[in-house]
Amino acid sequence: MSRLKVSAVPVLSDNYVWLITNPDTGETAAVDPSVGDPVLDEVATEGLRLTQILNTHWHPDHTGGNQGIKAATGAPITAPAEAQKVSSVDRIVSEGDRVTIAGADAVVWDIPAHTAGHVAYYFEDEGMIFVGDTMFAMGCGRLFEGTAEQMYSNMQRIAALPDDVRIYCGHEYTLANARFALHAEPENQDVARRLEQVSEMRERGEVTLPTTVAQERATNPFVRALDVEEFARLRSEKDSFR
C-alpha cells in the first residue's frame, strides 16, 4: 500500500528523528533532526542517501542537526519561516505548499500553538502525517506560542483524516500520556487497554509510534474533548499532572 519506508532514530532523552526513505532510490529525508551525528551514522549503516531535511518547528531539539547534516550531505532544508531563528532554510513553507519528499508528494499544513509557525507534512497518498510537537500519541503539545483555540482546532483537523492515517510525532511521550488519559477518562476501556499495551512495549524498549487517527479518536483526551473549554481545562491539568 504505502511506498515509502519510515524509521525512527531515537536521540536525546525522548526525541525521534524520522527517516523517510524511498526504497527504490535510497533517497531519504530526515524529519526534525535534533542532532546530526546519530542521523548520519544511521544513514551510513543503512546505505541510504540523505537528500532532504524537514523541520516542523523551530525548537532546537528539532533543528539542532540541520547545519551538520547539510554540511555533510548537501541536503537542502525545508522548514517554516520561524526556523530561521536558529538555522539556515533553503525552502520556506506554509499552509497549502506542496513538497516532493523522497519522490512522494506532501502538502504543508499550518498548525500553530506549540510554536507560532508550526507546520505538519501530510502525505495523502502514503496515508501518513508528520506532526512534530502538536499531537502526541494520547496527548498534545504544550501551548508555548499559541492558544487553546488554535491547538483544539489542530486536534480536530488531524482527527478528521481517514482512520488509518499514521501519525508520526516528535517525542516518545506515550506512556505518560496514557496515564493522564486514564485519569481524564477512567471509564474508557480503550484507554485502559492501550495503557497496558504501551507499558509492555516500553518495558521491551519498543517505539510506540506511529499512532493512527483511529487510535487517537478512541484514546486521546485532547482529541475527544467536546469543546475548547474542556480542551483548555485538560491542557492546564496535564501541565501539572504527575
Burial of residue 68, with CB atoms counted within 10 A of its CB: 0-12 exposed, 13-18 middle, 19 or more buried: middle
Question: Could you tell me if 109 and 85 are in contact, meaning their C-beta atoms sit under 8 angstroms apart?
Answer: no
| Rounded Cα–Cα distance for residues 90 and 60 (Å) | 17
Min separation Cβ 24 and Zn ion, Å: 33
Nearer to Zn ion, 126 or 133 (CB): 133
Nearest to 219 by CA among 140, 146, 132, 157: 140
Min separation Cβ 45 and Zn ion, Å: 27
Segment near Zn ion (CB under 5 A), from 66-74, 125-133, 146-154, 222-230? 125-133
- Binding to Zn ion by residue 118, rule CB under 5 A? no
- For β-strands 49-54 and 98-101, DSSP reports them as unpaired
CA distances from 53 to 44, 64, 90, 215, 238 (A): 16, 11, 10, 28, 32
- Binding to Zn ion by residue 59, rule CB under 5 A? yes
3 state SS of 150 = helix
Nearer to Zn ion, 133 or 172 (CB): 133
Nearer to Zn ion, 36 or 117 (CB): 117
Min separation Cβ 74 and Zn ion, Å: 26
User: From the annotation, which residues make up the binding site for Zn(2+)?
Assistant: 57, 59, 61-62, 114, 133, 171
3 state SS of 176 = helix
Nearer to Zn ion, 59 or 70 (CB): 59
Min separation Cβ 59 and Zn ion, Å: 4
| Rounded Cα–Cα distance for residues 141 and 146 (Å) | 11
Peptide bond into 210 cis (omega under 30): yes
Min separation Cβ 126 and Zn ion, Å: 24
Segment near Zn ion (CB under 5 A), from 31-39, 58-66, 192-200, 224-232? 58-66
- Binding to Zn ion by residue 133, rule CB under 5 A? yes
Nearer to Zn ion, 116 or 214 (CB): 116
Segment near Zn ion (CB under 5 A), from 42-50, 90-98, 126-134, 157-165? 126-134
Min separation Cβ 141 and Zn ion, Å: 7
The C-alpha cell at 163 is 482512520
Residues making contact with Zn ion (CB under 5 A)? 59, 133
